[in-house]
């Protein structure tokens, strides 16, 4: 197995050990960390023309995000979305809006791939941006900033 895939599988395995696999199974059809890592690598090769060289993070919530560095040095976030009947239309519209915002420098990263098949669902790919500080969205000051940002977007 490729070293990037092995490293990604290790990060996914740690995540699955902590959180369980109930959120990953609908996306990938498996709770096996290696199978998920191989599918993410396949997606990156097919959609972006680059193999996973190094994982940066893996998290799940409503969907999953795998941030990886590709062999050519690009850093991307692969976002697998929960399968839903209207997912293709929703993702195409979401990408359209996100690219509109990103082109104006407003609260969005550039979409560089997708929507395209991954596992049992679809994924999009964005440029991975890790600058800034992660804050708790429950803090009043953070909630106020999120509300102002949402208002500016709408």
Domain-wise residue ranges, the chain: 3-153
pLDDT at residue 9 in the model: 97
The arithmetic mean of pLDDT across residues 127-149, rounded, is 86
pLDDT at residue 23 in the model: 87
The arithmetic mean of pLDDT across residues 81-105, rounded, is 92
Highest CATH level, class, for 3-153: alpha beta
pTM > 0.75 = yes
pLDDT at residue 149 in the model: 81
pLDDT at residue 109 in the model: 87
Note whether 81 and 63 are within 8 A (CB): yes
Is the pLDDT reported for residue 35 higher than 90?
Answer: yes
Is the pLDDT reported for residue 114 higher than 60?
Answer: yes
At residue 64 the predicted structure's pLDDT band, cuts being 50, 70 and 90, is: very high
Minimal CA–CA distance to 79: which of 94, 101, 97, 64? 64
At residue 153 the predicted structure's pLDDT band, cuts being 50, 70 and 90, is: confident
Distance CA 131, CA 95 (A): 22
At residue 32 the predicted structure's pLDDT band, cuts being 50, 70 and 90, is: very high
């Amino acid at each position: 197995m490729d070293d990037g895939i092995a490293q990604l599988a290790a990060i996914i395995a740690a995540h699955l050990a902590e959180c369980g696999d109930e959120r990953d199974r609908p996306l990938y059809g498996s709770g096996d960390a290696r199978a998920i890592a191989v599918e993410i690598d396949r997606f990156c090769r097919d959609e972006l023309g680059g193999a996973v060289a190094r994982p940066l993070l893996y998290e799940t919530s409503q969907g999953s995000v795998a941030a990886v560095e590709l062999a050519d040095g690009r850093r991307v976030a692969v976002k697998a979305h929960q399968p839903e009947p209207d997912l293709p239309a929703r993702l195409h519209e979401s990408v359209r809006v996100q690219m509109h915002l990103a082109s104006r420098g407003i609260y969005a990263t550039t979409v560089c791939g997708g929507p395209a098949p991954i596992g049992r669902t679809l994924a999009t790919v964005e440029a991975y941006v890790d600058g800034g500080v992660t804050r708790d969205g429950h803090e009043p000051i953070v909630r106020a900033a999120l509300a102002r940002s949402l208002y500016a977007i709408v």
